[in-house]
Structure 1
Amino acid sequence: MPVIIMKSRKGISIEQKRRLAKEFTDTIVSTLGTKRELVTIFFEEKELEDIAKAGRLRCDE
C-alpha cells in the first residue's frame, strides 16, 4: 500500500491537487506495478508562519 505525503504551504488549488493526485498515482502504478486502489495520498498544507527555512520563518521573508 504506497502512501505519499505531499507537504506544502497553503494555497494549492483543488485543481492542482486533482492533477497531482492523478499524476502521482499514475507514476506509482507504472513504476511499482501496484493497483491504483492501493495508492493513498495525503495533502498537508501549512501556513507560512508554521514553516521555517534557514533559521527564519517563511512569513518573515
Structure 2
Amino acid sequence: MPYVNVQITKGVTREEKAEIVKDITASLQRVLGKPPEYTHIVIQEIEEENWGYAGLLTDEWKKSQS
C-alpha cells in the first residue's frame, strides 16, 4: 500500500490538488504496478511563515524576490 505525503505551501487550488493526486497515482501504477485503489496520498498545506527556504522564511524570501 503506497502512502505519499506531499507538503506544499498554501495557495493551491482544489483542481491543482486533484491533478497532483491523479498524476502521482498514475506514476505509482505505471512504475511500480501499484493498483490505484491501494494508493493513499495526503496533501499538507503549510503556511509560508512556517516554511524556510534559502535561509529565510518563505514569505520573507518571496518579498525579497519582488
CA distance in 2, matches of 1:28, 1:10: 25
Q: Per-residue CA shift, 1:4-27, capped at 9, x if unaligned?
A: 111110011000011111111011
- Give 4+ residue runs of structure 1 displaced > 4 Å after superposition: none
Number of aligned positions between the proteins:
61
Cα deviation, residue 58, structure 1: 1.2
Q: Secondary structure at the match of 1:12?
A: coil
CA RMSD of aligned residues (A): 0.9
CA distance in 2, matches of 1:57, 1:20: 25
Structure 2: any 5+ residue segments left out of the alignment?
62-66
Structure 1: any 5+ residue segments left out of the alignment?
none
Cα deviation, residue 52, structure 1: 1.0
1:28 matched to which residue of 2? 28
CA distance in 2, matches of 1:33, 1:58: 36
Q: Secondary structure at the match of 2:4?
A: strand
